[in-house]
């Protein structure tokens, strides 16, 4: 049942992306509203799939990479929906729905991992917090990328693409600020939970593995970015570029490194 719900989730996200894309191409607002409704439905079915999966027998560990990717897709989509109307991001449903579909699809093809070592509830706390933080960092990175694209378009005085009008620079900057403000504390708590997990399993909070080292460096990078944004009053354009680069580095440290042989 859980596997079927995951498949339905991917199908709903894909349908939302197609409806949003056709709606933009034809300038049909009804299709745009349908796409938003489908995206909300996908988030709900996605949440139900987690509940069913972790109540059944033979449940894969939450520390499994596929489960973590699926959870990140859900958190990221949920965060987008929470900010969509306030920041005027409805035209980006096609992009977010496509990314959510790819996330769920990728989670289904990632080979299952091994169960977490001893540590009580700390492994799950680590993955939940770190995944949520990574999702918020991804949302900040997406907003930053779109900010840079729109800023360049305005600077070069190029016309707006009719099929994908961009949100204002102010709206994208607000999303960047909120996502960074929410993501960095979550990442910090995720790192702390990971150290407590390791301490529970091995008696020491640091083992010096490549994954730990890269994650610690990525956390330090995000700490610098947060200080630059909130304490040093970094410019919006610089903050956008930092969000893109910071997320790319963080994604490699948390996900990409684990996929390397």
Question: CA–CA separation, 228 vs 235, rounded Å?
Answer: 9
Asked if residue 95 and residue 65 are part of one domain, the reply reads yes
What's the chain's average pLDDT? 84
| Mean pLDDT calculated for residue range 112-119 | 51
Quote the pLDDT of residue 162: 59
Asked if residue 196 and residue 138 are part of one domain, the reply reads yes
Instruction: Band the pLDDT of 54: cuts 50, 70, 90.
Output: low
Computed on alpha carbons and rounded to an integer, the radius of gyration of the chain in Å comes to 19
pLDDT digits (tens, 9 = 90+) for 124-178: 788 888 889 999 999 999 999 999 998 988 888 787 665 566 788 999 999 999 9
Quote the pLDDT of residue 98: 94
Inter-residue contact 207 to 119 (CB < 8 Å)? no
Asked if residue 244 and residue 137 are part of one domain, the reply reads yes
Q: Out of 66, 83, 115, pick the residue that ends a domain.
A: 115
Residue with tokens 């990971």: 194
| Reported pTM | 0.83
Asked if residue 200 and residue 125 are part of one domain, the reply reads yes
Q: Which domain holds residue 160?
A: 118-261
Highest average pLDDT, of 60-69, 83-92, 103-112, comes from 83-92
Measured CA to CA in angstroms, residue 21 lies from 9, 26, 31, 97, 114 at distances of 18, 9, 9, 10, 39
Asked if residue 110 and residue 123 are part of one domain, the reply reads no
Asked if residue 188 and residue 261 are part of one domain, the reply reads yes
Q: Look up the CATH number of the domain holding residue 88.
A: 1.20.120
Asked if residue 239 and residue 162 are part of one domain, the reply reads yes
CA atoms within 13 A on the CB side of 93: 33
Quote the pLDDT of residue 141: 93
């Amino acid at each position: 049942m859980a596997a079927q719900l995951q498949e339905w989730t991917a199908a709903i996200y894909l349908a939302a992306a197609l409806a949003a894309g056709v709606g933009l191409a034809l300038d049909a607002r009804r299709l745009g509203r349908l796409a938003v409704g489908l995206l909300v439905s996908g988030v709900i079915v996605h949440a139900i799939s987690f509940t069913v999966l972790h109540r059944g027998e033979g449940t894969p560990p939450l520390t499994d990479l596929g489960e973590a990717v699926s959870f990140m897709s859900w958190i990221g989509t949920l965060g987008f929906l929470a900010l969509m109307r306030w920041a005027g991001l409805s035209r980006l449903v096609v992009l977010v729905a496509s990314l959510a579909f790819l996330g769920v699809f990728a989670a289904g093809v990632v080979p299952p991992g091994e169960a977490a070592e001893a540590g009580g509830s700390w492994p799950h706390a680590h993955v939940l917090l770190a995944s949520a933080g990574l999702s918020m960092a991804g949302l900040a990175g997406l907003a930053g990328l779109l900010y840079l694209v729109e800023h360049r378009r305005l600077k070069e005085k190029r016309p707006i693409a009719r099929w994908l009008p961009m949100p204002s620079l102010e709206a994208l900057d607000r999303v960047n600020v909120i996502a960074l403000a929410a993501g960095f504390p979550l990442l910090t708590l995720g790192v702390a939970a990971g150290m407590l997990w390791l301490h529970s399993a091995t008696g020491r909070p640091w083992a010096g593995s490549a994954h730990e080292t890269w994650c610690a460096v990525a956390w330090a990078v995000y700490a610098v970015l947060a200080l630059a944004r909130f304490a040093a009053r970094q410019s919006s354009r610089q903050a956008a570029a930092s969000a893109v680069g910071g997320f790319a580095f963080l994604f490699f440290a948390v996900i990409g490194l684990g996929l390397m042989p």
